[in-house]
Amino acid sequence: MALIELKDVNKTYFGAQPLHVLKGINLDIERGEFVSIMGASGSGKSTLLNILGILDNYDTGEYRLDGKLIWNLTESQAADYRNRMIGFIFQSYNLIGFKTAVENVELPLFYQGIGRHKRHMMAMEYLEKMGLTAWAGHFPNEMSGGQKQRVAIARALVTHPDIILADEPTGALDSRTSVEIMDLLGRLNREDKMTIIVVTHESGVANAADKIIHISDGVIGSVEENRQHDSAHFGEGGIIK
């Protein structure tokens, strides 16, 4: 059983003009995979990722997460799945500006009811893993884009999720920092066996993953096994912007 199974998933936005955005998506992602979903702007990537992250509903089809049918969940059930299973990373980091780095990383643990001391220790552990120990007491506006994204990655990881979902995680970063962030995600996949799904419109970013799933106009096209990189030389090709 795949960790993520989508069968014929459809989604329409009902605005002034109905927009059929996802048109029969079939997709299996196994535990431990590092996958990119690549497509042009407007192809439906964020819509798909939001469904995978139980941030949005689909209209027809089936989505199973770890075997459980994700359908008609209450908001509190959805939040419970998200908190237990999913870590999110966004292009704009989504850090809270009036909280320090370590407080940002502690936040999901606070929502899990973990006590002050323990959540501080756990948050510091993940900041250390991201090379940010010295930055723990700094506010987001004192940090570079790459540092902010590493804080966001620490926050995504601190609850030990099953999956990391990343929506254009390098979209606001320069190319060298983009390579560093994708390298970091690659290491989390290889060393910690994290399942990672990255959505991007950039082929250089998509190329960091082991598998590239192409999406075009709401339809999954080809799925490429990506053997261009190996673990020893990961990221050396650089990201083409």
Footprint on this chain of ligand ADP (rule: CB under 6 A)? 13, 15, 19, 21, 39, 41-47
Closest CB to ligand ADP among 13 and 71? 13
Least CB distance to ligand ADP at residue 41 (A): 4
Q: Which of 62, 67, 66 is nearest to 51 (CA)?
A: 62
Which residue's Cβ lies closest to Mg ion?
46
Closest CB to ligand ADP among 114 and 212? 212
Least CB distance to ligand ADP at residue 187 (A): 26
219-225 vs 60-65, strand pairing mode: unpaired
Length reported for the chain: 241
Closest CB to ligand ADP among 42 and 137? 42
Q: Which amino acid is at 174?
A: D
Q: Which does 161 bind (CB under 5 to 8 A by kind): ligand ADP, Mg ion, none?
A: none
Q: Which does 41 bind (CB under 5 to 8 A by kind): Mg ion, ligand ADP, none?
A: ligand ADP
Q: Which does 15 bind (CB under 5 to 8 A by kind): ligand ADP, Mg ion, none?
A: ligand ADP
How far apart are the C-alpha atoms of 20 and 5, rounded to whole Å? Answer: 21
CA 58 → CA 23, 38, 49, 186, 241, distances in Å?
11, 20, 11, 30, 32
Least CB distance to ligand ADP at residue 132 (A): 28
The gap from C-alpha 53 to its chain's centroid, in whole angstroms, comes to 9
Site for Mg ion in 12-71 (CB under 5 A): 45-46
C-beta of residue 96 within 8 angstroms of C-beta of residue 107: yes
Closest CB to ligand ADP among 19 and 73? 19
Least CB distance to Mg ion at residue 180 (A): 22
Least CB distance to Mg ion at residue 201 (A): 8
What's the CA angle centered on 145, arms 95 and 192, to 5 degrees?
A: 75
How far apart are the C-alpha atoms of 187 and 234, rounded to whole Å? Answer: 9
Angle of helix 145-157 relative to helix 101-111, nearest 10 degrees, comes to 20
Q: Which residues bind Mg ion (CB under 5 A)?
A: 45-46
